[in-house]
Amino acid sequence: MAAMTIATPVALAGARPLKATLSRRAVSARATPVRAAPRGALQVRAAIALDYNAETPMTYNETGKWRENFDLAAWASEVRQVEKELKAEIGEDDVDHLNKILTWANMFYYGGLAVLFATPFLTNIFSFIGGVNPIAAFMMSTAICARWTMVGHHVCHGGYNTAQSENGVVTGRFHRRTFAKGLARRISDWMDWMMPEAWDVEHNHLHHYQVRTSNPIAIRSRRAIAPASARDATPSCLFFSPTRSQRRRPKTKKKQTPDLVASSASFLRQLGESADPDLVERNMKPLRTGNLPMILRYGQVVGLALIWKWFYYAPNTMKEMYQRREREAKKAGEDFENPFKTGELPSTVATVAAGAFKGNFAALGETIKCFAPYALFQFAALPALGYAVGGAQMATGVLLTSILADVITNVHSFIIIATNHVGDDIYRFESETKPRSDDFYLRAVIGSANFRTGGDVNDFFHGWLNYQIEHHMFPDISMKSYQKAQPRIKAICEKHGVPYVQESVWKRLVQLADVMVGKRSMLVWERGD
């Protein structure tokens, strides 16, 4: 396939009041004929990457017409009122609701273990597939996915902080400051392939804008940056101490600035921007522009879905954490050795292994630290317990069931996570914006897609990520609040003509796969105010 060409700047012809411009890029088997644009419409010269490298001028399609008379300030004012009311309502009812969801997750997990261990005859029933128990695997995977996408996700965003603290003192388990903090709490609160602190950096501070730069977590992401007294008060999900070779070494006696992040707005990014670590279109560039037949490209997408959490996502969160530490060190005039060296491309198990073969064992060591708690429990401790209960046959069945549970978790989470911000009806952005600005709220809508919403059972199996639009508008509210917010935000968007994408998760999965292989391309918002 021909390489994708970035569209040329848009010429505005009477559009108001937004200054932002956009383009549509596509891959097509045929050139699109030039059509005359209606008066006042946005005129675009877009470069279309065709099989024969042709460039065809074209007018912008109907997707952009909503912007012609759009009153951004009025729309954003109504959105802010919803946010204000929702945050004022968060209380014990929201915590009770979270506890209910956690109870459901625990019932699935421990129920799966009960099916696996308390009914050894099932091992014989499934002996033709090596003793693996698909019922137990499904139940365990549902719980593992729920603990991440619902409990860990919303707690680490601070959605329950106001209900779990009083006068600045943490009063409950589900406060961002203490949840999953330290090894013991990581194991009890949220044990997964990912290191919570690394995920916090990658997701909360790079995929999302850090909207509260005065918050210590936006200032300190590493242990060495503050004394123990300050560290204890920092609301991070988990602190992680760098190795001796990675500790910062001062170049000068320059006084350290405590607000490192706030002093460098370039550290802060939002979804769909060039520095967003979850920007699928950029991350999949080698596949999109390669020479593989289309069927093999789709095959790679399927393969990635089976292993993506440990193969790609967990190592890449580590990379993003260390890149952030490196930027902070440079800002403070200090040296810092970053073990993850993949440039703009994501870090994976493959790149870590390749680095080890070249003598870079630091990245391998950090990745092992990231993986160890979950891997040892799921694939060593549980099979050992199986051996104690039923011997070698049971141990084998438990191990294979744990592996299958992990595969199902990968597929489930891939479907409900990777699809959130991808499609030929979703924008990516070639400029930054300001947190809590009018444009910030708008980008959350046009850069995201919702799935079917409503009802705890439906939302549970969607991982509560079916409220992606509202989540990027208001990242620090409770799950229950999203159920209240969604119909109100959708109504406001319909009132003002703002495109609000909400479809079946399966339709969004098709969009995702097509973008990953280069069959479709996202809309591009080239400049913004």
- The larger pLDDT score, comparing residue 393 to residue 50, is at 393
Q: Bridge-partner residues for 21, per DSSP?
A: 527
Quote the strand ranges of 197-333, DSSP E: 249-250
pLDDT at 350 over 90: yes
pLDDT at 52 over 80: no
Distances (CA, A) of 379 to 268, 397, 405: 37, 11, 11
Give me the pLDDT at residue 273, please: 80
Q: What is the mean pLDDT of residues 24-37?
A: 33
Give me the pLDDT at residue 526, please: 67
> What percent of the chain clears pLDDT 70, i.e. is strictly above it?
73
Q: What angle do CA 311, 313, 319 make, to 5 degrees?
A: 105
Distances (CA, A) of 396 to 144, 225, 375: 21, 46, 16
CB 524 within 8 A of CB 25: yes
Q: Which of 15-24, 92-101, 117-126, 474-483 has the lowest mean pLDDT?
A: 15-24
Half-sphere exposure of 361 (CA within 13 A, CB side): 2
pLDDT at 43 over 70: no
Q: What is the mean pLDDT of residues 239-254?
A: 38
Dihedral sign for Cα 212, 523, 278, 361, please. Answer: negative
Strand-strand pairing, 523-527 and 427-429: parallel
- The larger pLDDT score, comparing residue 404 to residue 62, is at 404
- The larger pLDDT score, comparing residue 180 to residue 68, is at 180
Give me the pLDDT at residue 421, please: 93
Q: How confident is the model at residue 65 (pLDDT cuts 50, 70, 90)?
A: confident
CB 468 within 8 A of CB 421: yes
Q: Which of 22-31, 65-74, 435-444 has the lowest mean pLDDT?
A: 22-31
Q: What is the mean pLDDT of residues 336-362?
A: 88
**Residues with Cβ < 8 Å from 526, sequence gap 6 or more?**
7, 9, 10, 20, 21, 22, 23, 430, 431
Give me the pLDDT at residue 527, please: 53
pLDDT at 309 over 60: yes
- The larger pLDDT score, comparing residue 294 to residue 434, is at 294
* Separate counts of helices (H) and strands (E) for the chain: 20, 7
Give me the pLDDT at residue 507, please: 96
> Residue 524 belongs to what H/E stretch?
strand 523-527
**Residues with Cβ < 8 Å from 354, sequence gap 6 or more?**
none
> What percent of the chain clears pLDDT 90, i.e. is strictly above it?
52
Give me the pLDDT at residue 59, please: 29
Give me the pLDDT at residue 132, please: 85
CB 353 within 8 A of CB 181: no
> Residue 154 belongs to what H/E stretch?
helix 153-156
**Residues with Cβ < 8 Å from 33, sequence gap 6 or more?**
58
Compute φ and ψ for 368, nearest 5 degrees: -65, -40
pLDDT digits (tens, 9 = 90+) for 130-181: 678 899 999 999 999 999 999 999 999 999 999 999 988 999 999 998 999 8
Q: How confident is the model at residue 127 (pLDDT cuts 50, 70, 90)?
A: low
Give me the pLDDT at residue 16, please: 36
Give me the pLDDT at residue 198, please: 87
* Average predicted confidence (pLDDT) for the chain: 77
Give me the pLDDT at residue 64, please: 66
Dist CA 176 CA 158 (whole Å): 5
pLDDT at 265 over 90: no
Q: How confident is the model at residue 30 (pLDDT cuts 50, 70, 90)?
A: very low
Q: How confident is the model at residue 56 (pLDDT cuts 50, 70, 90)?
A: very low
Give me the pLDDT at residue 373, please: 93
Length of the chain: 529
Give me the pLDDT at residue 63, please: 55
Give me the pLDDT at residue 434, please: 84
pLDDT digits (tens, 9 = 90+) for 358-394: 888 999 999 999 999 999 999 999 999 999 988 888 8
Dist CA 256 CA 283 (whole Å): 35
DSSP state of 38: P
Q: At what angle do helices 314-331 and 349-357 cross, to 10 degrees?
A: 70
Q: Bridge-partner residues for 165, per DSSP?
A: 170
pLDDT at 77 over 50: yes
CB 345 within 8 A of CB 308: no
pLDDT at 248 over 70: no
pLDDT at 55 over 50: no
Q: Taking the model in full, what pTM does it have?
A: 0.77
Residue 424 CA, chain-centre distance (Å), reads: 19
pLDDT at 26 over 80: no
pLDDT at 20 over 70: no
